Structure 1
Amino acid sequence: MGETLVLVKNLEKSFNGEKILGGISLKVERGEVIGIVGPNGTGKSTLVKILAEAERPDLGEVSIKGRLSVLYQEDYLLPWKKLRDNLCLGLKLMGRECNPIVFARKLGIDKFLERYPKEVSGGTRRKAAIVRALLPDVDVLVLDEPFTGLDTESKDTLLSIVGEFAKANKAVLIVSHQLEELFRVVDRVYVLRGRPAEVKKVLRREEIGKGTV
């Protein structure tokens, strides 16, 4: 067994008196790529925000070892800053150097770095948000619907990057409705169902794609 970098135990969360998460437990070990799937409304993005400490759980335990970077469903780009400045904002606030060109070139947005968000397409903005999440040197990478709005080539590139992260002994957690892409890279999948959401199945790589989701 590898070192556990993300550990979630019996996580519960309610909004306006309605319970959304009903005791979620999962773990991600170093070198693993884990998927989370489930219908809309099962609290997957809420779970992501709790991992990022953007939301607090009502009950349960969340333990993350090392540094974390998150891609949210929304791009959260600052409209008054050029893409280059948006990509580097987090690193600069930490007093660290930033050179986004390698990941920007891989995802085909290097020629747009001097443009403002309103001057580029939604797909380019999504790629910019992905690059921003990839830039920090982190131990845990959390991606919420990373394949949405991407062309086939960009999806393949992102999958390759995710695989490189795992090979570098990092932990990756991906929330996605796009199962074909997700199943190409994950080691295990947590299947959420119900409201409040619970983990109904945990599928190993050899079980994925056999009609069991």
Structure 2
Amino acid sequence: MARECLLTSSSIVLCILQVDLDLGNYERFLDIKLTWDNNITTGKIYQSVIDKERKGEYLGKTVQVVPHITNAIQDWIERVAMIPVDGMDGPADVCVIELGGTIGDIESMPFIEALGQFSYRVGPGNFCLVHVSLVPVLNVVGEQKTKPTQHSVRGLRGLGLTPNILACRSTKELEENVKEKLSQFCHVPAANIVTLYDVSNIWRIPLLLR
């Protein structure tokens, strides 16, 4: 996986982190300054839970993925969401949470469970799930195949999360019959299904989505 060194600031302390490229993309696209805490990792979450256990904050209870790890993930998200990143006072209006990986990856399970609990707790008016999936095109006949996305959404729903928006990666614009098929099988309104073109320069994406 590609990495870049990102310079972040926290008060007057500067540190260089090796993070996923997407963190830098978010900074450049949104013109914001992210902090060390904006990069949520499994290691950080587990370390925070272990530290609490060592301090006796769980009162001798058996530390489990649910509720201790999942609660730690939700607490981290809510805490970081209150940190100003655009130079203005106060929290952001919208907090973007990117959960990487592939549906079914064991590494992502605690995060998926945590986000499922989080979405239920804050309510549908405060949580929107955008699922990015691949709609491959068969080069021979040019047919767009929806099965990968269908299976991905089915797996996601089985884990307690239902997408509100489908962002479909493809080499060409989704055909109307393809959108209708995805809408029917994925339970997402056709108006909420958008195409994300494969492009050589990521900066073209916002222009294509206008």
Tell me, yes or no, whether TM beats 0.5: no
Structure 2 length normalisation: TM-score? 0.32
* Greater fraction strand: 1
**TM-score with structure 1 length normalisation?**
0.32
- Structure with higher helix content: 2
